[in-house]
């Protein structure tokens, strides 16, 4: 097995941060700074709106960006540190809730100094060049356009920071393979990055990227600039409230704590599965109503199938014997057995293709086969009970593992 290091790279500096700080200082400084998602987002929306209406204000933002980079303004640095911490605390809470973790957190601010040094080194070696005062990589002959490393004022762009990040990861971990996951609007950027790293002496075959297309609502594109987006805090509340209603219908005597925990697990499964089942290279449409459906190709349906298997095993109240004798295997039993046997191949194919939708689609097909079996074959009290119980246990084991690979936690009761 390969040792995997999960690294997270966050943009805690750059023009988007300068825009936010500029807008807060100039138009919202009387407001109390708080770690509230919607408040933080509203300042950025306001900044984008003001800058689009009056373009010459960008010069003020540029000056703030320059000061943030050279760390000369003490008050500005304090404001940056304070708001940065609120943001980090906020998304760490979200990562914890959606059950994801990282072994290493990298930040753009840590890469600025070295990114600038690398840019000057590339300039000195004749690999990069000056154009209108900026430091660029000219890839027009390779049909990859121009990649800007430093602006005219010599402030560093995230392109140069990505070079510093590649160097840092290479020195620390010596990876055989770097898999960079990014949004599809950055496809060209990563081609330019890999080309530059190649010119710097890195082995090209060690770098792979996995591109995810935009997540859209059925109504269209989400945008943090215009505010046409869904905030996680609002969205997770909406889904968990719905899940609580569904659970309460099925189970009257449930504690508040158990209700909260189960509703959250079902909600996270609904969100993750609805995105991971789609081809990452195509636009991912997130349909809230569809993802909340407890029937059909949804995370809720898969959890329900798993809980149903758990229920059968609980009702059987005994451990299976090792005698798997069977008078005659039915079509439904055979179909389920065949689907269970495909799991190792699906996992391997998914790894080779770096495509999570293959495991997601397999999980759904497996749940369908199980539900076909459940409706056609009596388990408890049947003459083939032991065999069928073993089949249910195998299903429970494989479905749990396949969902686990998608980062989805199972629940024993729905």
Q: Is pLDDT larger for residue 129 or for residue 218?
A: 129
Question: Under a CB-based contact definition with an 8 Å cutoff, are residues 6 and 27 in contact?
Answer: no
Question: Under a CB-based contact definition with an 8 Å cutoff, are residues 259 and 244 in contact?
Answer: yes
Pairing of strands 145-150, 134-139: antiparallel
pLDDT-wise least confident of 149-163, 308-322, 364-378, 385-399: 308-322
Alpha-carbon distance of 157 to 184, in angstroms, equals: 19
- Specify the length of the chain in residues: 414
Alpha-carbon distance of 283 to 302, in angstroms, equals: 23
In this prediction, residues 386-401 reach a mean pLDDT of: 94
pLDDT-wise least confident of 192-196, 223-227, 313-317, 349-353: 223-227
So what's the pLDDT on residue 242?
84
CB atoms within 10 A of CB 125: 10
So what's the pLDDT on residue 226?
57
Identify the band that residue 151 occupies on the pLDDT scale cut at 50, 70 and 90: very high
Identify the band that residue 41 occupies on the pLDDT scale cut at 50, 70 and 90: confident
Residue 323 pLDDT > 80: no
Instruction: List Cβ neighbours of 59 (8 Å cut-off, separation of 6 or more).
Output: none
Identify the band that residue 207 occupies on the pLDDT scale cut at 50, 70 and 90: very high
So what's the pLDDT on residue 223?
55
Residue 232 pLDDT > 70: yes
Residue 324 pLDDT > 80: no
Over residues 244-276, the pLDDT tens digits come to 888 888 788 888 999 999 899 988 998 899 889
So what's the pLDDT on residue 316?
87
Residue 225 pLDDT > 60: no
pLDDT-wise least confident of 190-194, 219-223, 310-314, 358-362: 219-223
308 token code pair: 């149903």
So what's the pLDDT on residue 291?
75
Among 331, 309, 333, 319, CA closest to 392: 309
Q: Is 107 left (phi over 0), alpha (psi -120 to 50) or beta?
A: beta
Residue 46 pLDDT > 70: yes
Residue 312 pLDDT > 90: yes
Identify the band that residue 229 occupies on the pLDDT scale cut at 50, 70 and 90: low
Label residue 300 exposed, middle or buried (CB < 10 Å: 0-12, 13-18, 19+): buried
So what's the pLDDT on residue 393?
93
Q: Is pLDDT larger for residue 221 or for residue 154?
A: 154
Over residues 123-143, the pLDDT tens digits come to 999 999 999 999 999 999 999
SS (H, E, C) 67-101: HHHHCCCHHHHHHHHHHHHHHHHHHHHHHHHCCCC
So what's the pLDDT on residue 321?
62
């Amino acid at each position: 097995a390969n040792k995997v290091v999960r690294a997270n790279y966050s943009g805690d500096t750059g023009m988007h941060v300068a825009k936010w700080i500029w807008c807060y200082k100039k138009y919202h400084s009387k407001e109390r700074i708080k770690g509230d998602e919607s408040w933080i987002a509203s300042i950025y929306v306001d900044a984008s709106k003001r800058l689009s209406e009056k373009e010459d204000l960008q010069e003020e933002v540029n000056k703030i960006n320059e000061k943030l980079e050279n760390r000369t303004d003490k008050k500005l640095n304090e404001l940056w540190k304070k708001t940065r911490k609120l943001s980090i605390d906020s998304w760490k809470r979200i990562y914890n809730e959606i059950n994801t973790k990282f072994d290493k957190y990298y930040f753009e601010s840590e890469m600025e100094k070295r990114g600038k040094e690398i840019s000057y080194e590339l300039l000195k070696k004749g690999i990069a060049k000056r154009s209108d005062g900026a430091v660029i990589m000219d890839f027009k002959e390779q049909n990859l356009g121009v990649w800007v490393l430093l602006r005219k004022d010599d402030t560093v762009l995230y392109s140069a920071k990505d070079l510093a990040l590649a160097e840092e990861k290479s020195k620390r971990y010596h990876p055989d393979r770097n898999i960079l996951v990014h949004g599809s609007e950055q496809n060209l950027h990563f081609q330019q990055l890999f080309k530059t790293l190649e010119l710097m002496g890195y082995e090209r075959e060690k770098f792979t990227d996995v591109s995810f297309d935009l997540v859209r609502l059925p109504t269209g594109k989400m945008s943090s600039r215009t505010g046409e987006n869904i905030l996680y805090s609002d969205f997770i509340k909406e889904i968990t409230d719905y899940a609580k209603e569904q659970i309460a219908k099925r189970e009257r005597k449930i504690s508040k704590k158990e209700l909260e925990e189960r509703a959250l697990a079902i909600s996270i499964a609904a969100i993750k599965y609805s995105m991971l089942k789609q081809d990452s290279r195509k636009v991912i449409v997130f349909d809230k109503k569809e993802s909340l459906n407890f029937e059909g190709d949804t995370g809720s349906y898969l959890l329900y199938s798993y809980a149903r298997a758990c229920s059968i095993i609980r009702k059987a109240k005994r451990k299976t014997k090792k005698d798997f004798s069977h008078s005659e295997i039915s079509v439904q039993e055979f179909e389920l057995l065949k689907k269970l046997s495909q799991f190792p191949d699906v996992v391997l194919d998914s790894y080779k293709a770096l495509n999570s939708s293959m495991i997601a689609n397999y999980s759904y097909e497996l749940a369908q086969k199980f539900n076909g079996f459940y409706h056609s074959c009596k388990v408890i009290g049947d003459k083939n009970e032991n065999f069928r119980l073993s089949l249910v246990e195998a299903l429970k084991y494989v479905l749990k593992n396949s969902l686990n690979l998608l980062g989805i936690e199972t629940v024993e009761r729905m």
